[in-house]
Amino acid sequence: MTKVRKFVFPLPLSNSRGFTLLEIIVVISIIALLTALVAPRFFGHVDKSKQVDAQAQIGLLGQALDLYRLEKGKYPSNEEGLKALEPYLKKELPKDPWGNEYHYKSPGDHGDYDLVSYGADNIEGGEGNDMDIVSWKNIEKQ
């Protein structure tokens, strides 16, 4: 006959204790303080990266516009818009990093064409994350 062994849990140590409420509040306060210092810097870089991405997409759309002009002898009209570039793009016509359409005008006020992303608010003008990204100048380095 085989013996059945019973597992016995060890008795708790008499001098063990948990954390006090004060210790938990101190740790949570330190974590909150660190988060408050780091989060704004992190999200500031996210906003800046969207602006850089929009500038890069405008540059690529500008190259497609130039290729269109080389083949057709003119830039697309305002009525044709950027949809005319679809055969010249590897993928579908992109939206800006905030999910809005790029604004195209030909002839432009600043050259043969103007290509603009109105930023996060999709309204002309603005500062910070709402700043317009345009084809005729680069965004300022910060």
Number of H helices and number of E strands within the chain? 1, 3
| CA torsion through residues 18, 21, 22, 27, sign | positive
Read off the pLDDT of residues 23-33 as tens digits, 9 standing for 90 and up.
899 999 999 98
pLDDT at 95 over 90: yes
Q: Taking residues 53-81, report their average pLDDT.
A: 93
Rounded CA separation 77/108 (Å): 11
Give the Cα separation of 111 and 18 in Å (integer): 71
At the topology level, CATH places domain 21-134 in Glycoprotein, Type 4 Pilin (3.30.700)
Q: In which band, very low, low, confident or very high, does the pLDDT at 82 lie, cut at 50, 70 and 90?
A: very high
Enumerate the domain spans of the chain: 21-134
Q: What is the mean pLDDT of residues 78-101?
A: 92
